[in-house]
Amino acid sequence: MNRKNTVRPIEAVDAPKEPPEDRKAPDPDPKPADYDVLVVGGGPAGLAAASFCGRKLLRTAVFEGDSWGGILTRWCPDKRIDNYPGVSPGILARELARHMIDDARRADVDLFEGRVEEITPDREVVSGKMRARGKMLILANGSTAAEAGILREREFAGRNGGVWYVVRDPTAFRGKEVVIVGGGESAISLVQRLSGIALRITIVHRQPAFRTQSSLPEEFEPDRGLTVLLDSTVEEILGNDRVRGVRVREHATGKVSVLPADAVVMAVGRRPNTAMFRDIGISLDESGQVRTDLWQRTNVPGILAVGDVSSHLKMIVTAVAQAAIAAHQACLDIRNPYGK
C-alpha cells in the first residue's frame, strides 16, 4: 500500500486555540482524497480509533476542528487523571492526550487540522476547501457544554457579557468573583483551574451532593475563597451590559439571596454534537446521542460512532474501548465486505 504520512506538527496540545493558517488542511484536489477510514474529531475517541485503524494498515485520516486531545486539552489540561488504566495514576490530561497523538502518528495516520463542515451519506467529508472520501467514516466529534436554562443566560452569553461555557485561559478570571453552576467533573475541574486566580469562587449545585467520583480536594478550604451552595439553584443572572450578580434560591428553606458576580461559568453537562448529521439521517436516541449497535454501527451503512457523541458513560476509557470496537468493525467491512 502506498502510504504517504502527511501528519501535521501538533506541538501545542496544552494551548488549545484556533489552528494557525499554515497548519490547516491542504487545499483541495479536484477530486476528494481517498482513504480507507476517515475520522471526525481528534479527541480520545477519534485519536484512538485512528490509531487502531492505522495499526491495521488501513489508510486513515483524522480531522480535528479545535484542539487535539479534545476535552483533555481544551477543558482540563492540568487535571490529574486517575481512572485510566495502564498509565501512571495522576497523569496530566494534556500528557495523556500527547501519548494519544503520538500513538496516532506512530500508526501513520494523517492528522488534519480543520473543522468538518459537511458529511455526505456516501462518506465524503468537507473541511474548508478540502474534500476526502472514506470507505468507512467514524464519527468521534464529542459533545459541547450545555446551556443551564437560567433566566437571562442567553442575554449575557456569546458577547463577552460574563457568561462562559469554556474556560480556555484561567487568567482572564484574575481578581474576579466567579459563580460556577453545576456539580459534576466539569465544575470541580473549573474550581481547580480558577483557584488562586479568581478572587472568590462560588459553586451552586442543585443537588445535595456533588456528582463526581472524587470530592473537592482538601486544599479548597472556605478560607481560600471557595463557597459551596448545595441544594440551591441560580434562578436569574443580574446586570445591565455585563453580569453583576446572580439570584440564588435555597431549596430547603426557599430563601433567596443575591450574590455579587463578575462571571458565571456553566458546568451543567454536555450535549452531543449531532447537528451536522441531521441531513444524512443518522438516527439519535431519546437523549439525543447517536444510536449505535454493539459494534458501534449507526443506522447509515459505513458510518460508525464512538465516544461522547454516542456513549452514555462519558469516560476516556469507554471512548477508547468503543474506538477499538469501531476499528475492528471498519477493518471487517473494508477487507471482507461480503462475508458478514
Ligand X SMILES: Cc1cc2nc3c(=O)[nH]c(=O)nc-3n(C[C@H](O)[C@H](O)[C@H](O)COP(=O)(O)OP(=O)(O)OC[C@H]3O[C@@H](n4cnc5c(N)ncnc54)[C@H](O)[C@@H]3O)c2cc1C
Nearer to ligand X, 45 or 237 (CB): 45
**272 is a contact residue toward ligand X (CB under 6 A):** no
Binding status of residue 63 toward ligand X by CB under 6 A: yes
Helix H or strand E encompassing 91: strand 91-92
Identify the residue among 19, 54, 70, 272 touching ligand X (CB under 6 A). Answer: 70
Give how far Cα 23 sits from Cα of 54, 66, 75, 127, 131, Å.
21, 12, 22, 13, 16
Selected range binding ligand X among 29-37, 148-156, 203-211, 310-318, rule: CB under 6 A: 310-318
Under the binding rule (CB under 6 A), the answer on residue 237 touching ligand X is no
Question: At residue 96, what are phi and psi to the nearest 5 degrees?
Answer: -60, -40
Contact between 307 and ligand X (CB under 6 A)?
yes
Q: Does 116 bind ligand X (CB under 6 A)?
A: yes
Instruction: Candidates 180, 305, 314, 325: give the one binding ligand X (CB under 6 A).
Output: 314
Question: In terms of CB distance, is 211 or 242 closer to ligand X?
Answer: 211
- x/- mask, ligand X, residues 122-141, rule CB under 6 A, reads ------------------xx
Given CA atoms 309, 42, 211, 255 in this order, what sign does their dihedral have?
A: negative
d(CA 57, CA 12): 28
Q: Which of 32, 142, 161, 162 binds ligand X (CB under 6 A)?
A: 142
Minimum CB–partner distance for residue 114 and ligand X (Å):
7
Q: Tell me how many residues contact ligand X (CB under 6 A).
A: 39
CB of 241 to ligand X, least distance (A): 29
Give the span between the Cα atoms of 66 and 70, in whole angstroms: 8
Contact 220, 167 (CB under 8 A): no
Quick one: which of 107, 128, 135 has its CA closest to 26?
128
- Minimal distance in Å, beta carbon 82 to ligand X? 7
- Residue from 64, 108, 153, 177 in contact with ligand X (CB under 6 A): 64
Give the span between the Cα atoms of 46 and 49, in whole angstroms. 5
Q: Residue 66 interacts with ligand X (CB under 6 A)?
A: yes
Choose between 57 and 195: whose C-beta lies nearer to ligand X.
Answer: 195
234 is a contact residue toward ligand X (CB under 6 A): no
Long-range CB pairs of 23-28 (<8 Å, 24+ gap) are 23/113, 24/113, 24/114, 24/128, 25/63, 25/112, 25/113, 25/114, 25/127, 25/128, 25/129, 25/130, 26/112, 26/130, 27/129, 27/130, 28/129, 28/130, 28/131
Residue 243 binding ligand X, by CB under 6 A: no
The 5-34 site mask, x for binding ligand X (CB under 6 A), equals ------------------------------
Shortest distance in whole angstroms from residue 78 CB to ligand X: 11
* Start-to-end CA span in the chain (Å): 24
Work out whether 76 is an interface residue with ligand X (CB under 6 A). Answer: yes
Give the C-alpha separation, 218 to 214, whole Å.
11
Q: How far apart are CA 96 and CA 298, in angstroms?
A: 28
Separation between Cα atoms, residue 33 and residue 231, nearest integer Å: 53
Q: Is 284 in the site for ligand X (CB under 6 A)?
A: no
Phi, psi for residue 44 in degrees, rounded to 5: -55, -40
Partners of 270 in beta bridges = 145
| Site pattern 161..200 for ligand X (x: CB under 6 A) | ------------------------xx--x-----------
What is the binding site for ligand X (CB under 6 A)?
40-46, 63-67, 70-72, 75-76, 79, 81, 83-84, 115-116, 140-143, 185-186, 189, 273, 276, 307-308, 314-317, 319
